[in-house]
Amino acid sequence: MPRLQNKVSLITGAAQGIGLATARKFAQEGAIVIVCDVKPDAVNAAVEQCQALGAQAVGYLMDVTQRAMVDAVVDKVKERFGRIDVLVNNAGITQDARLQKMTLEQFDRVIDVNLRGVFHCAQAVSDIMVAQGQGVILNASSVVGIYGNFGQTNYAASKFGVIGFTKTWSRELGPKGVRVNAVAPGFIATPILSTVPDQVMKEMEARVPLKRLGQPEEIANVYAFLASDEASYVNGAVIEVSGGMSV
């Protein structure tokens, strides 16, 4: 039997990269996939991909920084399906600059999406999951959220913060049957790296013991495990999926 059979799973930033790979993986594992993103055409395309894999899937336009929009989507999902079993807080952005050059707009935008957005979504589903007596919240951190990275003051702060959320919520919600975990990807081949020069990409690969970038599907596989009952005793964990780059 598929590992996520009929689990109503809401995935943010699900129209590309790791989010899309996660939506597809969840579809293959039997989940009811709720695709959320800010790009309407991409949302529709992602829903079609999930349906082509045999899953029930619906899409919603959702900006995680807009609380009213988040609440409205969560209400619609609850009304339609009666429950929400899994939230994957995947939506995230980068706006890199060194400390001395970073604008307030760059700082605020990344914190707004990567940190406040995660808070909005988790808070919006938490009452539903507690009332059910079960649920799973999965947060996207990063190896940058463990070790820091040059030129990523805002991104590192947001991803460190997500780990703080994860540790705190696992304590608060664990007794109510809700597990909360984080995944910390390393260098993954996604559209977010499309602006990185080839030479820098080669240097990135050289830093990883496996000598390659990760694939979005390799992160999605870990999300699927954590969302499943196979991970029933995993709570408050931060799982690094980086090819060993921190070794």
What six digits make up the tokens of 121? 């979504």
Note the residue count of the chain: 247
The amino acid present at 223, given as its one-letter code, is Y
Residues 34 and 58: beta-carbon distance below 8 Å:
yes
The yes-or-no answer on residue 155 being catalytic is yes
Given the residues 147, 155, 223, 233, the one annotated as active site = 155
Residues 136 and 85: beta-carbon distance below 8 Å:
yes
The amino acid present at 134, given as its one-letter code, is Q
Rounded CA Rg of the chain:
17
Residue 106 phi, psi dihedral angles, 5° rounding: -65, -45
Number of other CB atoms surrounding residue 117 within 10 Å? 25
CA 142, CA 139: separation in Å to the nearest integer? 10
**Residues acting as catalytic residues:** 155
